[in-house]
Structure 1
Amino acid sequence: MEDAITTRFKNLIISSNDALEFKLIRKPDDVDDDKLIFKPEMSHQVFGDSENIFGYRDLRIKLYYSAGCLETYLGMTYTEKADKSICEGVEADEVLPKVREKLASEVHSSIDSFLVALKNDESWAPPGTLIYSFSVNDKEKGQRHFEVYKADMSCKGFKEYHERLQTFLLWYIDAASFIDIDDDQWHYFNMFEKYTSTVGSYQYATVGFATVYQYYAYPRHARPRIAQVLVLPPFQGHGVGAQLLSAIYREYVGRSEVKDITVEDPSVDFQRLRDFVDAKNCQTLESFSNKNLIQGFNKNMAIEASAKFKINKKQARRVYEILRLRITDVSNEQQYQTYRLDVKRRLNVPYQREQKNFKKLQRVLKSVEGGAIIDGPSADQRMQILDKQYRLLEEEYKRVIDRMEVSD
């Protein structure tokens, strides 16, 4: 059985993900409204791989932002703190300094000063240029209006705003790093909800953002690469992420110097979002019509997807597979088998290249006296791997198709 000291130690350990709580504050009453709390997806980038904090009972780390300009409050409460005299000399972890060092320079430690600063939101407007607006119908809140602004570091107040905004990356994007704001090849896209305040005037609430780096493409072209995209949890599930991506596309697709739009190491969730937007766009193109889809992927699809939406060939092929699956009658074994084989042939291309290299290596090793013989996967093993790859891919495609069905 555990002794009393061990039990006491365990009771003073809490998950940093559970202890952290965020709020976007629009009005003073929101400070005490726990329904507005949202949680981090991760905290190891601040509290270490264990994501644990020692030394407190009922710990609450409160990281609150004013909804518009992101004035920041950081505080904490607890009902008990470890006493090193009875915890074998072990002191409670430092908590607030670890969080504060990741935040922008000006952080409120007093809730009263934060509430005074909250009034800044009343006259605050998004920095940059309005490039896109849209509305969504919310079952609970009715029609909601959103706007996307493009900004750069020359925009008044944007640098300070971005320094506060980017801190959300630490809690929602793994291996996140803050970008070099002195590099003018970065483009910034910020989304806001435009709402009516309690006094009847318009105010803005931060919804999410994206950063895009403009790379050079030979000979006189540019290749924008989407690097970071984040929609804050209170706004997820309303389709605003797709709208943010659409706004980015609209900014670049009409530019002749833009070769294509790429994505830097997309997460599974972002790839699904990208697939949805690209598939919605490409289904309007003649080359992606049903009669052409059943004939298989062709160069016209890649050419038209590139010309109309700056989609590269690899992504155009993926979009084709999604739209082809959508029109495939999976209850018709012949149709379904034809589709599966088409996708598996594409999935098998990298393996075929590996096999060629593998055979070359085998010949070299055989020619060397005493060279080792390396065994690759058998044909049956390769078929099992390929089948698993296909099944996982089809599951992702079906999720995109389901969303398309709902949105049509």
Structure 2
Amino acid sequence: MELGNYSGLAEYVVDANQALNFRFVGSAEDMENEKLVFQPEMVHQIYGDNENIFGYKDLKIDLMMSRGTLRTFIQYSFSSKVDPAKTDGVTPDDVVGPLLKILAPGSATENKEEFVKQLSSAKETGFRPIGDLVHSFSSDDKTYEVYSCTESTPGFRSYHDRLQVWIMFYIDAASYIDIDDDNWKFFLLYQKRESSGEGCNYSICGYITVYEYYAYGRQTNKKRPRISQMLILPQYQRQGLGAALLNTLYRNYLNDSSVVDITVEDPSDNFIRLRDFVDTQNCLKNPAFSKENVMNGFTDSLAESAAKELKLCRKQARRIYEIVRLHYTPLSDTAAYKSYRVDVKRRLNAPYQREQSQLEKLRRALKPEEFAAAMVNITDREQRLELLEKQFTELEAHYKKILEKVAATV
């Protein structure tokens, strides 16, 4: 619809990111507590690419989820909405329907009394995390527990159906996973509160999903776990909980001789930063990444140690080696810093070298005019050097930020 055809309709278009308010609640009082509110990072997977809702003024949508069983209550309000009789039959957008489509079937209600009753039920107040307790820790005087689950864990399937809705608001291009496959493993992080006499004592903070792929090779019965999704809910971010959860996953696999290494599927920029931080912390404590070893260059021995002792795949081991080597390289030492730059650029330039090798084969196989036509869109040497310098500069800046963060935690 072209809003320009209707006088004043532009004011009936609202940004769904601003209209949506989330809360995790444990009591009727929590439902009115504005301090518990947090908002989505994206809604294009729910309300469309423009992330707008048409037809309302001052639209406010509340989506509240119970802390324990993850049951949902939805309500919305507005000051006015468009009148189809005055807009050639154009009607307001559906507000609740798109949300119900991504929520687990039967998990949501628009009846406030029904939801309040649910919050005080024994099933809600007596909720305990599903699965096996694999780690507990304290941070800032708060207690946290991590539980592992699989598809066969009693009650987990329906719980996961209610939990996974959050990825739609915080992970771009997210999709629900089919947990019918028993190769999936899940690690769920909860905050545990002291008993207050009312409400659920556990709050979900986030979770991480892993698919245990078979590791093809000479050895049998080997696996290569791949991290698929990780989410720390907004109200629990920037508290070190992501690092704690990732380290818990690592510890779960460290003593498993069947695990070759751990990989990651299409990581986001945020996860890359988290992973680099955690892996750098761990490698700086590991003798294999001592200054003496690292300054001698990246070797097969170092890669093997990283896989055996830390379950790092070769690609990530190389990346962390570069971060650790930067840590040990005095920038004031011109020769040492130049050696570092050359080492990193050599790795960054490897794809270009392979491309050049393929082009040489192509040159020998084609006629001169055919080869010239094929080279039209190929980056020349000068362009490649400029790109290489840009890649190195951006990577070095990232590495320095990781090292600064690691230093701040010592």
TM-score calculated relative to the size of structure 2? 0.93
Displacement of 1:389: 0.8
Specify the alignment match of 1:125 in structure 2: 128
Q: Say which SS state the counterpart of residue 76 (structure 2) adopts.
A: strand
> Is the aligned partner of 1:148 residue 2:146?
yes
Displacement of 1:296: 1.8
Aligned partners of 2:199, 2:80: CA distance in 1, in Å?
A: 44
Specify the alignment match of 2:379 in structure 1: 377
- Give the conservation status (yes or no) of the 8 Å contact 1:362–1:374: no
Q: How does 1:279-294 map to 2 (within 5 A)?
A: 279-294=280-295
Specify the alignment match of 1:165 in structure 2: 163
> Is the aligned partner of 1:244 residue 2:245?
yes
- Give the conservation status (yes or no) of the 8 Å contact 1:365–1:372: no
- Give the conservation status (yes or no) of the 8 Å contact 1:5–1:87: no
TM-score calculated relative to the size of structure 1? 0.94
> Is the aligned partner of 1:209 residue 2:225?
no
Displacement of 1:224: 0.7
Aligned partners of 2:370, 2:200: CA distance in 1, in Å?
A: 80
Q: Say which SS state the counterpart of residue 373 (structure 2) adopts.
A: coil
Q: How does 1:319-398 map to 2 (within 5 A)?
A: 319-366=320-367, 372-375=373-376, 376-398=378-400
Deviations 1:149-192 (A, max 9, x none): 00123323212211110000111111111111211111111110
Aligned partners of 1:370, 1:254: CA distance in 2, in Å?
A: 54
- Give the conservation status (yes or no) of the 8 Å contact 1:129–1:149: yes
Aligned partners of 1:201, 1:181: CA distance in 2, in Å?
A: 30
Deviations 1:117-146 (A, max 9, x none): 112332000000000111111xxxxx0111
Structure 1 residue identity aligned to 2:292 = K
Q: Extract unaligned runs of 5+ from structure 2.
A: none
Aligned partners of 2:31, 2:56: CA distance in 1, in Å?
A: 23
Displacement of 1:95: 1.4
Specify the alignment match of 1:101 in structure 2: 101
Q: Say which SS state the counterpart of residue 377 (structure 1) adopts.
A: coil
Q: Say which SS state the counterpart of residue 167 (structure 1) adopts.
A: helix
Q: Say which SS state the counterpart of residue 206 (structure 1) adopts.
A: strand
Q: Say which SS state the counterpart of residue 302 (structure 2) adopts.
A: helix
Displacement of 1:50: 0.9
Q: Say which SS state the counterpart of residue 189 (structure 1) adopts.
A: strand
Structure 2 residue identity aligned to 1:274 = R
Structure 1 residue identity aligned to 2:384 = R
Consecutive aligned runs of 4 or more in structure 1 exceeding 4 Å deviation: 3-7, 367-371
> Is the aligned partner of 1:91 residue 2:91?
yes
Specify the alignment match of 2:139 in structure 1: 136
Q: Say which SS state the counterpart of residue 102 (structure 2) adopts.
A: coil
- Give the conservation status (yes or no) of the 8 Å contact 1:17–1:40: yes
Count residues with an aligned counterpart.
401
Aligned partners of 2:139, 2:330: CA distance in 1, in Å?
A: 33
Structure 1 residue identity aligned to 2:174 = A
Displacement of 1:402: 1.6
Aligned partners of 1:299, 1:331: CA distance in 2, in Å?
A: 29
Specify the alignment match of 2:67 in structure 1: 67
Displacement of 1:81: 1.0
Indicate the percent of aligned positions where both proteins have the same amino acid.
Answer: 42
Specify the alignment match of 1:17 in structure 2: 17
- Give the conservation status (yes or no) of the 8 Å contact 1:224–1:258: yes
Q: Say which SS state the counterpart of residue 91 (structure 1) adopts.
A: coil
Aligned partners of 1:191, 1:45: CA distance in 2, in Å?
A: 25
Structure 2 residue identity aligned to 1:20 = L
Specify the alignment match of 1:313 in structure 2: 314
Structure 1 residue identity aligned to 2:138 = S
Displacement of 1:300: 2.1
Cα 1:370/1:378, change in 2 over 3 Å: closer
Cα 1:100/1:405, change in 2 over 3 Å: same
Cα 1:201/1:233, change in 2 over 3 Å: closer
Aligned partners of 2:116, 2:55: CA distance in 1, in Å?
A: 30
What is the aligned counterpart of 1:399 among 377, 398, 401? Answer: 401
Displacement of 1:398: 1.7
- Coordinate RMSD, CA, aligned: 1.9
Specify the alignment match of 1:140 in structure 2: none
Aligned partners of 1:202, 1:114: CA distance in 2, in Å?
A: 14
Q: How does 1:254-265 map to 2 (within 5 A)?
A: 254-265=255-266
Aligned partners of 2:12, 2:58: CA distance in 1, in Å?
A: 9
Deviations 1:81-111 (A, max 9, x none): 1111223432111110111011011212112
Displacement of 1:287: 2.1
Q: Say which SS state the counterpart of residue 18 (structure 2) adopts.
A: helix
Deviations 1:52-91 (A, max 9, x none): 1100111112111112221111121111111112234321
Q: Extract unaligned runs of 5+ from structure 1.
A: 138-142
Specify the alignment match of 2:305 in structure 1: 304
Q: Say which SS state the counterpart of residue 90 (structure 1) adopts.
A: coil
Q: Say which SS state the counterpart of residue 68 (structure 1) adopts.
A: coil
> Is the aligned partner of 1:191 residue 2:189?
yes
Aligned partners of 1:407, 1:369: CA distance in 2, in Å?
A: 58
Aligned partners of 1:57, 1:322: CA distance in 2, in Å?
A: 51
Aligned partners of 2:170, 2:198: CA distance in 1, in Å?
A: 34
Displacement of 1:285: 1.8
- Give the conservation status (yes or no) of the 8 Å contact 1:285–1:304: no
- Give the conservation status (yes or no) of the 8 Å contact 1:102–1:167: yes
Displacement of 1:337: 2.2
Deviations 1:332-375 (A, max 9, x none): 33332221121111100011111111232233332687973424
Aligned partners of 2:332, 2:54: CA distance in 1, in Å?
A: 56
Q: Say which SS state the counterpart of residue 28 (structure 1) adopts.
A: coil
